[in-house]
Amino acid sequence: MNRAPLPDPSALAEGFWAAARQGRLVIQRCHACGVLRHYPQPRCPHCQSSDWGWTEITGRGVIHSFTVTHQAFHPSWADRVPYVVATVELDDAVRMVTDLDEPAEMVAIDAPVEVFFDRIDDEHTLPRFRIRQPDNADEQTR
């Protein structure tokens, strides 16, 4: 059985993956102007400052766009075909590309999603997304 390729993060991105191992989703916040950004970049695309830190976000958002993949681009994904790759518009105004842990027929533009953390081994935990149940779900249990 083939094993899926795993992240081999640069020094710049290591904080993102270290947080994922702790079950937290973090992105960069510019210390000069406050703008949030993702993917990790050495300088702020808004003000060019190199002064930044990691900030934890909720991991909630909606599907901005998606594609259904019918051809496995790696042998380890063959048993997942067809699978969904989506761009998620996070509540924190950044977008993140992810594979969705949902059957293709469940996925739609603007569907609410939330992050979950898929622990592969001691060194690798992948932030992934799934469809989020409506916020009024707990109303039904009262």
Stretch that binds Zn ion, among 9-17, 41-49, 58-66, 134-142 (CB under 5 A): 41-49
Residue 137's φ and ψ, nearest 5 degrees, are: -60, -35
Stretch that binds Zn ion, among 48-56, 58-66, 103-111, 114-122 (CB under 5 A): 48-56
- 30 near Zn ion (CB under 5 A): yes
Stretch that binds Zn ion, among 1-9, 37-45, 62-70, 102-110 (CB under 5 A): 37-45
Residue 84 burial by Cβ neighbours in a 10 Å radius (0-12, 13-18, 19+) = buried
Q: Under 8 Å CB-to-CB from 60, ≥6 apart: which residues?
A: 90, 91, 112, 113, 114, 115, 132
* 22, 41, 49, 55: which one binds Zn ion (CB under 5 A): 49
* 4, 6, 12, 33: which one binds Zn ion (CB under 5 A): 33
Which H or E element spans position 126? strand 125-131
Encoded tokens for 129? 């997304």
Interface residue list for Zn ion (CB under 5 A): 30, 32-33, 35, 44, 46-47, 49
